[in-house]
């Protein structure tokens, strides 16, 4: 959804823009083609993406300033401070969530169902020694704990059956170490019953389970919350934050941030519902905080890819784009 992002951000010469998920650099390069003299923060937690950002830095010498940053969303505050980027000065933030095409296309990273490789799924690779791989999660957790991960992070209805099948396969055949092995185990739960995706193509029954493991291994939902908080701090008033998500859990977090809904609040509640109690009189500063908005969404409805884009980029089929302006 590159064109939609450019239409929302409308980059102009001399702006400071932060690409929080540089990846292969597609969005960043499009931004740099639109405006000159940009200061572009090219951030990513993936060391491979970091090297690509450093390459782009050399390519853009004399045209725009590229600042490659390696780190999770929760680590970027220290890096940006080190580069003397002050809070309240950035013009735009961009998030393109989930695993990148580069990560899916590299079998050795363990993200893909269609390419057999080691069951890794760490976006940071070996940069964080204490971070477990997907294989360690699969081979050491009990069925109950695996079921919780699959249900909470993949919204998988068959989480219990899949978790039990994984544990039984471990006892029968040893550790599950590759993406193909895990996909085969999960496939046995569905007995040949397969769904279709939004493009009416065959959807592998392990898709949600792989997604859940990736989100859990990389702590993606907590990192997203941290990233959006950082974006609000560094954006100038009137600055724009655009977020492309691929999963309902991600989109829910983005929506709640932009619409001022508490993270653990029930859905579809009004401000009055949150604070309704006839026995309590709220002090003035609490009422002002309730009414104060941090973001102004640019659209009430989420934006989705066009049919033309889906024809050339099927991976965008689940993409949802939300954008908001920093109000205060």
Q: 200-246: per-residue pLDDT in tens?
A: 556 789 999 999 999 999 999 999 999 999 999 999 999 999 999 99
What is the predicted pLDDT for the residue at 289? Answer: 52
Task: Calculate the alpha carbon distances from 277 to 282, 285, 292, 326 in Å.
Answer: 9, 17, 20, 31
Using H for helix, E for strand and C for coil, what is the string for 205-274? CCHHHHHHHHHHHCCHHHHHHHHHHHHHHHEEEEEEEEEEECCHHHHHHHHHHHHCCCCCCCCCCCHHHH
- Are the beta carbons of 201 and 178 closer than 8 angstroms? no
**What is the reported pLDDT for 280?**
57
The predicted structure's pLDDT at residue 275: 47
Q: Quick one: residue 113, left, alpha or beta (phi over 0 = left, psi -120 to 50 = alpha)?
A: alpha
Task: Please state, for a pLDDT cut of 70, what percent of the chain lies above it.
Answer: 87
* DSSP bridge pairs for 209: none
Please tell me the pTM assigned to this model: 0.87
Nearest to 155 by CA among 1, 316, 318: 318
**If the chain, 328 residues long, is cut into consecutive pieces of 10 residues, what is the mean pLDDT of each piece?**
92 97 95 96 96 96 96 95 95 94 89 92 90 96 97 96 97 95 93 58 84 96 97 97 94 94 56 50 54 84 87 84 94
Token pair 């980059």: residue: 11
């Amino acid at each position: 959804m590159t064109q939609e992002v450019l239409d929302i951000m409308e980059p102009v010469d001399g702006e400071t823009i932060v690409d929080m998920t540089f990846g292969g650099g597609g969005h960043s390069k499009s931004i740099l083609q639109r405006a000159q003299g940009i200061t572009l923060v090219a951030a990513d937690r993936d060391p491979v993406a970091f090297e690509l950002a450093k390459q782009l830095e050399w390519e853009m010498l004399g045209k725009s300033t590229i600042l490659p940053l390696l780190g999770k969303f929760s680590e970027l505050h220290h890096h940006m401070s080190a580069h003397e980027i002050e809070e309240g000065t950035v013009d735009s933030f961009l998030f393109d969530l989930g695993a990148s095409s580069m990560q899916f296309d590299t079998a050795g990273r363990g993200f893909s169902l269609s390419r057999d490789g080691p069951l890794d799924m760490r976006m940071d690779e070996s940069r964080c020694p204490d971070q477990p791989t997907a294989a360690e999660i699969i081979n050491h957790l009990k069925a109950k704990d695996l079921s919780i991960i699959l249900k909470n992070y993949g919204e998988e209805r068959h989480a219990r059956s899949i978790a039990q099948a994984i544990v039984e396969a471990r006892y029968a055949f040893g550790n599950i170490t590759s993406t193909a092995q895990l996909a085969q185990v999960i496939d046995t739960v569905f007995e040949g019953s397969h769904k279709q995706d939004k493009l009416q193509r065959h959807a592998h029954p392990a898709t949600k389970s792989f997604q859940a493991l990736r989100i859990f291994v990389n702590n993606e939902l907590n990192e997203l919350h941290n990233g959006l908080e950082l974006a609000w701090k560094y954006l100038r008033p009137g600055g724009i934050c655009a977020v492309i998500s691929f999963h309902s859990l991600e989109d829910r977090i983005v929506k709640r941030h932009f619409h001022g809904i508490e993270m653990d609040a029930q859905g579809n509640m009004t401000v009055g519902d949150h604070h309704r109690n006839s026995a309590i009189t709220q002090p003035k500063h609490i009422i002002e905080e309730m009414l104060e908005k941090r973001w102004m969404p640019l659209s009430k409805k989420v934006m989705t890819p066009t049919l033309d884009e889906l024809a050339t980029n099927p991976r965008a089929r689940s993409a949802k784009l939300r954008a908001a302006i920093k109000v205060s």
